[in-house]
Chain A
Amino acid sequence: MNTTIKQFFRKYLYSNILVLLIFLIANLIFFFSIILIIKNTSEEEVFPITEFVDNINVDKKQKITVNSKSTNILKEKNSWAMILDDSGTVIWEEYMPENLPRSYTSSDIARFSRWYLEDFPVLIQTLPSGLLVIGLPKQSIGKYNYFLDTNTMKILIYSVGIFIVMNFLLMFTLSGWNTRKIEKAIKPILTGINSLSKGQYVLLPKKGELGTINEELNTASQYIGKKEEARKDWISGISHDIRTPLTIMLGYAGEIEKNSNLPTETRAKAEIICIQGDKLRKLISDLNLTSKLEYSMQPLNIKKINPVELIRLVISDFLNNDINMKHKINMVVENNLNELSIQGDLTLLSRMLNNLVQNSIDHNPNGCNIVVKASTTKNYLQYIVTDDGIGLSEKQLNMLNTGLTFEGKSKSNDGIPHGIGLKLVKQITHAHKGDVSYKNNVPNGLVVTVSLPIKHVQD
């Protein structure tokens, strides 16, 4: 599957987890700050007991005096206070309600220290002189006593740890599961669009939440497929129907040309028919091959190829069949190339070089010198076809290099020679994972460079 789609879902999953992580952290911060706030509302908030105790004075005769500050605190808080001696008798009191006993047993003390003294919530502090008891207004605070042994504490800490870990796990699984679900629904659509853009046939399942979109993609694919099929059939059909008449034409024209009983002028005209007919012949064959390559109907027949012998075969083919010898074709080969071999389709690669040489010949009818050169760069084998003919205009070069003419964006051919032949060069080069570039020769002519990746035979 396409890496962008994969990346998209991976990013989606990560952002999902991030969102949940932020959520969890924010919650934890919130939770702990509440605990801190509650903790701050401690006894001191309810009753400033430290300040109160500071203002209690005991003299040498064990006489307890409380200054006005403490009395004011009691007043403010609407509370009362008493101090009990060791036997449980009240030895000092302030604002203490009348109905409360003035003497307590140790079991009484134990009870109210934990719970309430006659519904008064009490605070207790041990002083050197006795036990200070401060009674707060009824209903002002709730008293709860927690008994936590170390074991319980441990369990509590572990539980919090487990709670956080569980949360993380849940977060990962849930968001992962969620992403998977969305991915499952969207993936076929994205792959479908991907294949459509490459011109491949698409058939997606109609089921699922996004089934209708799938169906529409299927329809689009079928529509494109039908059009392509029609085009392909048209090309192969028309080229097939041209073959027989052209065979007959070429045959008779060839006979007239060879017949020595006929006037020279007639024979010369027949020769022209032969040459033009031959061009048509090559055109048909190019047209067929280009359509096959476009629809990937032609499987590559990859074999080990000697790159120098490839040039020899192509050039000798031209020399063996050359009629007028107006064009001189030479080969130049770098020394290190003799050891090199590449993996490729011999028929297609010879066709590619053949078309490039033919292009130079067709484009320079008055003759020119053509050089086919082979050289290597670090990772590429380069075939450079050079001529010293009339070359191409900047516009034409640009079109060939960008491939605009081949995509149907330019309506006129703009004088591009042998358009299909050069399109084929591009297709064959691309089928071999290589590239082709065109530029003008100095001082005149055309330079075409085909770069093919070198694949070593060892691997």
Chain B
Amino acid sequence: MKDKEILIVDDDLEILNIIKSIFENDGYSKVKAMSSAKKALETIYEKIPDMIILDVMMPEMDGFEFLQEVRSLTKVPVLMLTAKGEAEDKFSGFELGADDYLVKPFLPKELLFRVSAILRRTYPEKNRVIVLDSAKVDIDKAEVIRNHDKIPLTAKEYTIFFKLYENIDKIVTIGSLCQTVCGDFWDGYETTLMTHIRHLREKIEDNPSKPVSIVTVKGLGYKLVSKGE
């Protein structure tokens, strides 16, 4: 994941440097920073990067125009940086095809979290196997490996597990979990969700009544806990 090529486009050199530095310090090895939108477009014509981080307000060519050019060429994920106040509505629904956006100023860890989430989603690793406390989960095959047994996950269990995995070590609310299964109208699905969680625990946990991997955060939701060091 950290070997993906990231292109940063921003006219402000200081911002450019700090973003580059944030990614490099987090272990990303191929980070390219460009202060001119036109030059950046030229490099994209030559070789398409894996991810673009794009400032909205730039002279000569703004982020939206840049994005249109890029979209005519490729579906590469784009995260836009905005100083707000500028065409904020354009972001609603990501009409122009940006994958996500972040308002300046942002916390470095927020940027890293968003980018890694996009990368994970866009470039799913092959043979992704998550190691949990008492089992492993093969994401691609949608199966649990436990004591040399292979237990398949149902479609809904998989959807729920994947949502938790995307937000590993973070609380995912009951509502957002229901939403990933049923869409926007999830009223009354809570009890069904609890059943799915119970089945997931039976497959993953050593002691499903005292779960350590899929933990309940009372009233709020659930959290998938990565195996601690």
A residues whose Cβ falls under 8 Å from a Cβ of B: 236, 239-240, 243-244, 246-252, 254-255, 258-259, 274, 277-278, 280-281, 284-285, 288, 306, 308-309, 312-313, 315-316, 319-320, 330-331, 333, 338, 341
Contact = CB atoms under 8 A, between A and B. Distances in A.
A247 B84 contact: no
Given A240-B85, A251-B19, A288-B84, A312 B25 contact: no
9 contacts: A247-B105, A254-B108, A281-B106, A288-B84, A309-B174, A312-B173, A312-B174, A313-B175, A316-B172
Interface string B82-93: 011100000000
B21 A251 contact: yes
A309 B219 contact: no
Interface string B195-220: 00000000000000000000001011
A244 B15 contact: yes
Interface string B1-37: 0000000000010110011011001000000000000
Contact of A333 (B25, B175, B219): B219
B182 interface: no
Top 4 nearest A-B pairs (CB, nearest first) are A309-B175, A251-B18, A316-B171, A312-B173
A51 to B, nearest CB: 105
Given A313-B173, A313-B175, A320-B171, A250 B105 contact: yes
A338 B186 CA distance: 12
A93 B83 CA distance: 126
A255 B171 contact: no
B39 interface: no
Given A259-B25, A312-B175, A319-B220, 19 more contacts: A236-B85, A243-B84, A246-B104, A247-B104, A248-B15, A249-B105, A250-B106, A252-B18, A255-B18, A277-B105, A308-B175, A312-B174, A312-B221, A313-B175, A316-B171, A316-B173, A316-B221, A319-B171, A320-B171
A316 B220 contact: yes
B84 A258 contact: no
B177 to A, nearest CB: 10
Given A312-B221, A319-B217, A255 B105 contact: no
Contacts of B85: 236, 239-240, 288
A215 to B, nearest CB: 35
A312 B219 contact: yes
Nearest to A298: B88
B100 to A, nearest CB: 16
Nearest to A316: B171
A251 to B, nearest CB: 3
A315 B220 contact: yes
Given A236-B85, A247-B18, A313-B175, A255 B219 contact: no
Interface of B: 12, 14-15, 18-19, 21-22, 25, 83-85, 103-109, 170-176, 187, 190, 217, 219-221
Contact of A309 (B84, B109, B173): B173
Given A243-B105, A285-B103, A312-B174, A248 B18 contact: yes
A interface, by DSSP: helix, strand, loop or mixed? helix
A255 B187 contact: no
A280 B15 CA distance: 18
A188 B19 CA distance: 56
Contacts of B107: 250, 254, 274, 278, 281
A319 B220 CA distance: 10
Contacts of B105: 243-244, 246-247, 249-250, 277, 280-281, 284
Contacts of A331: 219-220
Contacts of A249: 105
Nearest to A274: B107
Nearest to A237: B85
Contacts of A247: 15, 18, 104-106
A281 B217 CA distance: 29
A318 to B, nearest CB: 10
A40 to B, nearest CB: 88
B83 A240 contact: yes
Nearest to A285: B103
Contacts of A333: 219
Nearest to A319: B171
A315 B217 CA distance: 11
B173 A251 contact: no
Contacts of B221: 312, 316
Nearest to A257: B108
Q: Most chain-A CB neighbours within 10 Å: which of B19, B83, B172? A: B83
A5 B190 CA distance: 53
A258 B217 CA distance: 29
A244 B83 contact: yes
A124 B139 CA distance: 133
Q: Which of B19, B21, B171: most chain A CB closer than 10 A?
A: B171
A319 B172 CA distance: 11
Given A243-B83, A306-B175, A306-B187, A320 B170 contact: yes
